[in-house]
């Protein structure tokens, strides 16, 4: 059986690595178009692009609105994304755990 404190330490270390990568590495990402943007340019239909309805949102275009330094803005948007994904994941796991504990057919972990 795993030691819960070592599992927490491993998860915390993973979170720290993800945050460090978002803050210190993502600002150096290649600014050239990739993915669908690159295909649109290569195939000649990039000029038909229209603005998305969320184009003015606080985290649009991998940046935090109100932060003028491009590198810091990009890094902060990555950290916010990591924290949002972590929060959503914790909420889903909490919901699943609560539902499992309230399930009358669950026999307290037997057979797991």
The per-residue pLDDT of the chain, averaged, comes to 88
pLDDT of 13: 96
pTM of the entire predicted model: 0.73
Say yes or no to pLDDT of 16 above 60. yes
Nearest to 63 by CA among 49, 79, 52, 51: 79
pLDDT of 19: 96
- Intra-chain end-to-end CA distance of the chain, in Å: 13
pLDDT tens-digit series, residues 48-72: 988 888 888 898 888 899 999 999 9
pLDDT of 54: 87
| Section 72-93 average pLDDT | 94
Say yes or no to pLDDT of 3 above 90. no
pLDDT of 108: 57
């Amino acid at each position: 059986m795993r030691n819960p404190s070592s599992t927490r330490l491993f998860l915390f270390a993973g979170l720290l690595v993800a945050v460090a990568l978002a803050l210190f590495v993502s600002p150096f990402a290649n600014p050239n178009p990739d993915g669908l943007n690159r295909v649109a340019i290569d195939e000649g239909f990039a000029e038909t692009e229209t603005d998305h309805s969320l184009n003015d949102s606080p985290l649009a275009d991998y940046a935090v609105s109100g932060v003028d330094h491009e590198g810091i803005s990009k890094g902060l948007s990555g950290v916010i994304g990591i924290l949002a994904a972590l929060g959503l994941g914790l909420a889903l796991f909490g919901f699943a755990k609560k539902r499992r504990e309230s399930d009358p057919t669950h026999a307290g972990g037997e057979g797991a």
